[in-house]
Chains A and B, each alone.
Chain A
């Protein structure tokens, strides 16, 4: 086919099929979908106007992919069965390629038609299972079913390369693979068509300069909206994406249909649920420099052993980046971002570990999470009682969460954020203090038993080097002195040793041995500096007993005992020995020995114990911290189900 200039069969206005691959053109004057057929032009019905959005893309934008330039020449807007719309941009390449650039929740996927090998068909829509790998699709990486659902062609603009039928309901499946691989199976055609490509950033396809459309006029219009229940004013931050909004005046849940509000029900906060601490409308700049605004808040709960546990999830919105979540549980905070399901490795749903980005996460919780209460606006048709199976895996400070609903598996990654960081982001103070330990709260005391323990090995090194420096043990005096018999049992006898030399900066050990046998001797020994007359006095009791009984021979005490002194000034010294002993009528021979530089290890032991205290305390803290963390889990740290949680939150047929 070639470029064709013609008149709209509906209104007669001039229209032009610019791209050779275009099958349907939306008449810019009357919005009729004009199909190019073998028999000429055919009016296949009116299409609705594109819902105004903050998309950074627009018709006519030019980009490049793999060195080939393209132009956005068409746009179709699809409505999701659960609410919300996504855009499909038609990219006409200069080399004749036809690509689809899907835009959903701020993410972009560029795909191309992928013919299947002869005789190969993909599984039927009804046979598709979430998580199933579709090996029939040729791809460098296995593609796994992430979502299966229905959509409706809601609106279109420009040139469309297939026969778009306004209002047509179609089935589709989205698949994801590693390294951002992405594919869609379109079941509106028989046999189904497959489109394969990848998730891309606008910068990767040469559209990095595209800026979100300023939608001031739309905001003003939305601000003028009033609640159909109470008439109170309300505003929508993202009216093009909003499917549900709550009235801040009467707590009504309202359905949003292209800006029109209709009353659904009045919400009541659940009993026992804490209040939201962050206000709708608050905005702040998160790590990465992206400014997000809180546009919605959800109170969710999980019931375990009959006890209901609540937490809050705040929906964050940035027109360029899309949606993120801020989770507030037990006054702990997590910033949550979606992740590609195919990048997460698990053997089966509910596996004990999950691998993502090279990190292994351990299962922490697996329970049905229920929406209890909502506030603000949402991009899906949120309902009270909406339930998903939520499985959390942790590798602090990260948490990987899997949510499984009827037709969809979603993975998200949460990063723990301390309270002070949240306060800084929103410019607030006084957030309530966290309770206990959060599942993915990082332990901050690791330093004290890692780098903080560095002095300990250094102490060992220093101790080894100090042995030769401080010198080896040396005997400076060894002499036998005989004390004459005592005059009575209590008056001591005194004797002096020969003078000897002591060196400075070395400790002194005095050892006394006495010939005691089933008796005792009490020796007071003075070490006298001949020059300064300074005296260091030590008491050395010696006692030795032996005998035998029914258990055999026994002994108690020792015939030698010692005392150690810290270093003394160098110089000449003498020992004065003053003693009393049990058998006082007989003389007492005493062997005295004086040694220096005795390596007793006392200093080392004291330093070692002092330095060991903090690391040991750090270990205890870590142990206590981890115990607190896992106490709230349905699983043990090794992945086994806690014995107290034998009564699974799922019935056996789940």
Chain B
């Protein structure tokens, strides 16, 4: 049973590697994700009046 589980795991890793290579997923060495803020004058705030 353990042997079958290990083989499933091994082929799972292989599948993950193949998928990552196809989709360009990378264990990146840097980078952080964000989104640019909407410019203040488009926000609809007009001085609180």
Interface pair A462/B28, CB less than 8 Å apart: no
**Contact, CB under 8 Å: B33 / A534:** yes
- A455 pairs with B13, CB closer than 8 A: yes
Check: A148 CB closer than 8 A to any chain B CB.
no
Q: Give CA–CA (A539, B25) in the complex, Å.
A: 20
The segment from A4-12, A68-76, A481-489, A604-612 found at the interface with B is A604-612
Q: Decide if A567 touches B31 in the complex (CB within 8 Å).
A: no
Judged by a CB distance under 8 angstroms, whether B48 is at the interface is no
Residues of B within 8 A of A528 (CB): 36
Tell whether, in the assembled complex, residue A565 and residue B28 are in contact, meaning their CB atoms are under 8 Å apart: yes
Contact A505 B33 (CB under 8 A): no
A610 to B16 Cα, complex, angstroms: 12
User: How many residues on B have C-beta within 8 angstroms of the other chain's C-beta atoms?
Assistant: 27
Bound form: Cα–Cα A539–B14 in Å:
32
Q: Does A222 contact B (CB under 8 A)?
A: no
B43 at the interface (CB under 8 A from A): no
State whether A603 and B30 are in contact (beta carbons under 8 Å apart), knowing that A458-B14, A534-B35 are contacts in the complex: no
Q: Which residues of chain B from 5 to 44 have any CB-CB distance to chain A below 8 Å in the complex?
A: 6-7, 10-11, 13-14, 16-18, 20-36
Residue among B7, B21, B32, B35 with the highest chain A CB neighbour number at 10 A = B21
List of B residues within 8 angstroms of A565 by Cβ = 26, 28, 30-31
B18 to chain A, nearest CB (A): 5
Nearest-CB distance from B7 to chain A (Å)?
7
- Answer yes or no: A443 CB below 8 A from chain B CBs: no
Residue of A nearest to B20 (CB): A603
Distance of A161 Cα from B38 Cα, bound (Å): 119
Report if A537-B34 is in contact (Cβ < 8 Å); known contacts: A466-B21, A470-B24, A610-B13: yes
Q: B29 contacts which chain A residues (CB < 8 A)?
A: 563-564, 602
CB closest chain-B residue, reference A467: B21
Q: CA of A539 to CA of B12 in the docked complex: distance in angstroms?
A: 34
* Count of A-B contacts judged by CB separation below 8 Å: 110
| Inter-subunit contact A536/B31 (CB<8 Å) | yes
Note all chain B residues with C-beta closer than 8 A to A597.
Answer: 24
Contact partner, B13, options A506, A535, A611, Cβ 8 Å:
A611
Chain A contact-residue range equals 35 or more
Asked if residues A567 and B32 are in contact (CB atoms below 8 Å), the reply is no
Judge whether B36 and A535 touch: CB under 8 Å.
yes
Residue contact A607 to B27, C-beta cutoff 8 Å: no
CB distance from B15 to the nearest CB of A (A): 9
| B-chain residues with CB within 8 Å of residue A448 when the two chains form the complex | 3, 6
Separation of A509 and B10 alpha carbons in the complex (Å)? 29
Asked if B35 and A537 make an inter-chain contact with CB atoms under 8 angstroms apart, the answer reads no
Cα distance A606–B27 in the bound complex, in angstroms = 9
Q: Are A603 and B35 in contact (CB under 8 A)?
A: no
Chain A residue with minimal CB distance to B29? A564
Q: Which residues of A contact B20 (CB under 8 A)?
A: 603
A567 touching B24 by the CB < 8 A rule?
Answer: yes
Query: A582–B17 Cα gap in the complex (Å)?
Result: 42
Tell me which residues across on chain A come within 8 A of B17, comparing CB atoms. 459, 462-463, 603-604, 607
| A452 interface contact, C-beta 8 A | yes
A536 to B16, CA, bound (A): 24
Q: Whole-angstrom distance between the alpha carbons of A88 and B31 in the complex?
A: 92
Contacts A507-B24, A610-B13 known; 13 new A-B pairs at CB < 8 A: A451-B7, A534-B34, A535-B35, A536-B31, A538-B32, A566-B26, A566-B31, A567-B23, A567-B24, A603-B17, A603-B20, A603-B27, A607-B16
A-B residue pairs in contact (CB < 8 Å), sample of 30 = A447-B3, A452-B3, A452-B7, A454-B10, A455-B7, A455-B14, A459-B13, A466-B22, A470-B22, A505-B22, A505-B23, A506-B24, A507-B25, A507-B28, A535-B34, A536-B31, A537-B33, A539-B30, A564-B26, A564-B31, A565-B26, A565-B31, A566-B28, A567-B23, A600-B26, A602-B26, A603-B20, A603-B21, A610-B13, A614-B10
Residues on B facing A (Cβ under 8 Å)? 3, 6-7, 10-11, 13-14, 16-18, 20-36
